[in-house]
Amino acid sequence: RLRRVFEAYSYLSLCEESMLHLVRSDPSADRPEWRPYVFSRHPLAVAYRYSAGGYSFAGLLLLLFADRMRSYDAGVWWCALGMALVVQGAVAYLGDVQSWGRPSVWKQLDPLLASTLFLAFGPWLGARSLLGHFVVPRSTLSLWLAGCALALFAKAKAAQASRRAAPRLEEMLAWHTLWHALPFLAVFCILDLAFMLTFAGSEFARA
């Protein structure tokens, strides 16, 4: 049993390192002269600044509906994941916005926590569903996994934009904001599973 746990941990660590390499942005693109734009009232800048709040919103919903989520998979620590998402919202804001153009430990913590949560909510939940532990409507699961794939694509594009010889701030912010759209999709999926907004009366509705 311990061997299987170690093998699973090693596999997740390898996946996390590979993902970090794919989505890691160039630190030199975090230019201090762009800070005024990041804190401006431009719609893209406003969306970028507040997009990190989606993590905390999704986390609060998980905490609120933890019992309901356990009816779909009792083997997942939904409360722990919810608290981690709440923390990630603050860490993402501090790393992506508050410390823009400035050295900060939040810039190192943000991608580590974000990638760990992505693996937990993406590949791990997907695997648990395939194994029959996480039983949800196929449409909800397909929507969520498609959203994870698109979010990862957006994060990779944001990293790619930061590594250009002449990076453009608007391009980086747009792709990064799309990456932060994933927790808002999580909000929809959590509410859908909690109240069966789309699948009311189906075989998946729980008492």
Given this model, what pLDDT does residue 204 score? 46
The burial class, CB within 10 Å (0-12 / 13-18 / 19+), for 143 is middle
pLDDT digits (tens, 9 = 90+) for 41-94: 999 999 999 999 999 999 999 999 999 999 999 999 999 999 999 999 999 999
pLDDT digits (tens, 9 = 90+) for 121-143: 998 999 999 999 999 988 889 99
At residue 166, the pLDDT reads 86
The tokens of 181 are what?
């759209």
**Do the beta carbons of residue 177 and residue 52 sit within 8 Å?**
no
Cβ partners under 8 Å of residue 154, min gap 6: 175, 176, 178, 179, 181
CA–CA–CA angle 145, 83, 204 (5° rounding): 45
CB 125 within 8 A of CB 134: yes
- pTM of the predicted structure, to 2 decimals: 0.83
Q: Tens of pLDDT along 97-115?
A: 999 999 899 998 998 899 8
Q: How far apart are CA 157 and CA 85, in angstroms?
A: 23
Q: Indicate the DSSP class of residue 24.
A: P
Give alpha helix (H) positions in the chain.
2-23, 35-38, 43-51, 53-64, 66-70, 78-93, 106-119, 125-130, 138-162, 169-179, 182-195
Q: How confident is the model at residue 3 (pLDDT cuts 50, 70, 90)?
A: low
pLDDT of 4 > 90? The answer is no
